[in-house]
Structures are given as structure tokens and as C-alpha cells.
Amino acid sequence: MADNDAESISPPDQAKPPGRCPGAARIGLSRLRGGGQLTARSGYRLAAAALIAALAASTVVLAVQHRDDNRIRADRAAFLQAARQTVLNLTTISADSADADIARILDGATGGFRDDFAARSVGFTSVVKQAHVSTVGTITEAGVESLDGDRAKILVAASSKVSNSAGAQEEPRIWRLRLVMQRTEGRILVSNVDFVP
């Protein structure tokens, strides 16, 4: 009978792990799900913050690029205008206003070109007056060959009509010039002029 009693007494339930109670698995799963939702929300927030930062950076880059493009366009226009005016000054000279015409050319020049033109200006003015020269220039076309900061090379095509006491009556002249323009103390001046074949 002792044996039967021993057999009828069942040992403690070994199927349940110690320290666990019914429903613990559901509570643990619930906690895991809650943590997953927090992680997902944090991820969305980080992604949104990264997107906003990227958009802000793109806006800054585009604004800087736009400003630089505007500056380059403004520089090109300013150098072109200065070169066109220089060629008009060089090709529009009259015996009646020779002194003022030469002074205008010198005022728009710098460097080697100014030095060379100044050295020849007295003789040039004398010839213009004696020969009763009158020449009127017109710009045909102008373009920027290169632009680097405060220095630019400009190509200018021009024509002029020349009259003088030797018998020329509005005879046409064609000019193809390369001008080196230099920005100096806020002014754009010509520093060199070459003839282009």
C-alpha cells in the first residue's frame, strides 16, 4: 500500500518553468510590441528630421548657387559693356573734339595700354587735327572669351566710317579686337588691346 500511495502522489508540476505564471508570455509579447512601436515612432522622427535637414541644406546650396550665377552674369555684362564702350571710344574720334576724345580713352585705360597710349597721345592728337579726321564707330558683336575674377578677355567686332582731308568720305573700316579688361578699384578698365586677324 505504501507503494501505491507513493505512486498516487504526483511530483510537483515539472512542465511549468519556475518563476513563470499563466499569461506571462502574453505580457512579455505586449511589452515587446509596445517597445517596437516606440522604436518605429523614433525612426519616423529621425527620418523626418533628416529630411528637413536635407531640404534646408539643399535650399542653402541652391540659394548660394543662384547668388553666384547672378554675380557671374552681372560680371559678364559689366565687362562686356566696358569693352564695348572702350572700342567705341577708340573708333569714334573727331578733329573738333580730339583732346576730349583722347582724354576719354586714357580715362578708361590702365597698365601697359594706358602707358603706351599716353606716350603716343600728343602725336596722335596732332595728326587727327591736321588731317581733319572724323571716325564714327559701331559695335557689331561682342563676347566674353574668358572671365577670371577681376580680369576678362573680351572679343569685339566693330566697324567705323572714316573721313579725312586726304579724301576719305565715310570709308568703312572693320575691326576685330581682343581686349583685356581689368577691374581696378571698382572700375573696369582696358589694360591691353590686340588686333585679331
pLDDT at 103 over 70: yes
Determine if the pTM surpasses 0.75: no
- Report phi then psi at 33, rounded to 5: -65, -45
pLDDT for the residue 193: 97
Grid cell 569693352 is found at 83
> Which pLDDT tens digit goes with each residue over 55-69?
888 787 777 776 777
Least confident of 24-38, 61-75, 85-99: 24-38
> Which pLDDT tens digit goes with each residue over 170-182?
999 999 999 999 9
**CATH code for the domain in which residue 173 is found:** 3.10.450.230
Q: Strand pairing partners for 55?
A: none
In angstroms, rounded to a whole number, what is the distance separating the alpha carbons of residues 164 and 135? 9
- Summary mean pLDDT of the chain: 84
Chain Cα centroid distance, residue 17: 74
- Report phi then psi at 161, rounded to 5: -115, 120
- Structural domain span for residue 178: 78-195
CA torsion through residues 33, 36, 38, 44, sign? negative
pLDDT for the residue 8: 45
Kind and range of the H or E run holding 106: helix 98-107
Tell me the chain's radius of gyration from C-alpha atoms.
43
- % of the chain at pLDDT higher than 90: 60
Q: Establish if 149 belongs to a structural domain.
A: yes
Q: What is the DSSP string of 148-196?
A: ETTEEEEEEEEEEEEE-TTS--SEEEEEEEEEEEEEETTEEEEEEEEE-
Q: Establish if 155 belongs to a structural domain.
A: yes
In angstroms, rounded to a whole number, what is the distance separating the alpha carbons of residues 69 and 46? 34
pLDDT for the residue 32: 46
Q: Establish if 64 belongs to a structural domain.
A: no
Q: Establish if 32 belongs to a structural domain.
A: no
CA torsion through residues 77, 80, 86, 89, sign? negative
Does residue 147 or residue 42 have the better pLDDT?
147
Q: Using pLDDT thresholds of 50, 70 and 90, give the confidence band for residue 38.
A: low
Q: Establish if 15 belongs to a structural domain.
A: no
Kind and range of the H or E run holding 91: helix 24-91
Q: Establish if 21 belongs to a structural domain.
A: no
pLDDT for the residue 46: 82
C-alpha cell at 71: 554675380
pLDDT for the residue 52: 86
pLDDT for the residue 27: 45
Q: Strand pairing partners for 143?
A: 155
In angstroms, rounded to a whole number, what is the distance separating the alpha carbons of residues 15 and 20? 11
Q: Establish if 98 belongs to a structural domain.
A: yes
> Collapsing DSSP states into helix, strand and coil, what is residue 81?
helix
Q: Establish if 101 belongs to a structural domain.
A: yes
Q: Strand pairing partners for 189?
A: 182
Does residue 105 or residue 46 have the better pLDDT?
105
State how many domains the chain has: 1
pLDDT for the residue 10: 47
Q: One-letter amino acid identity for 79?
A: F
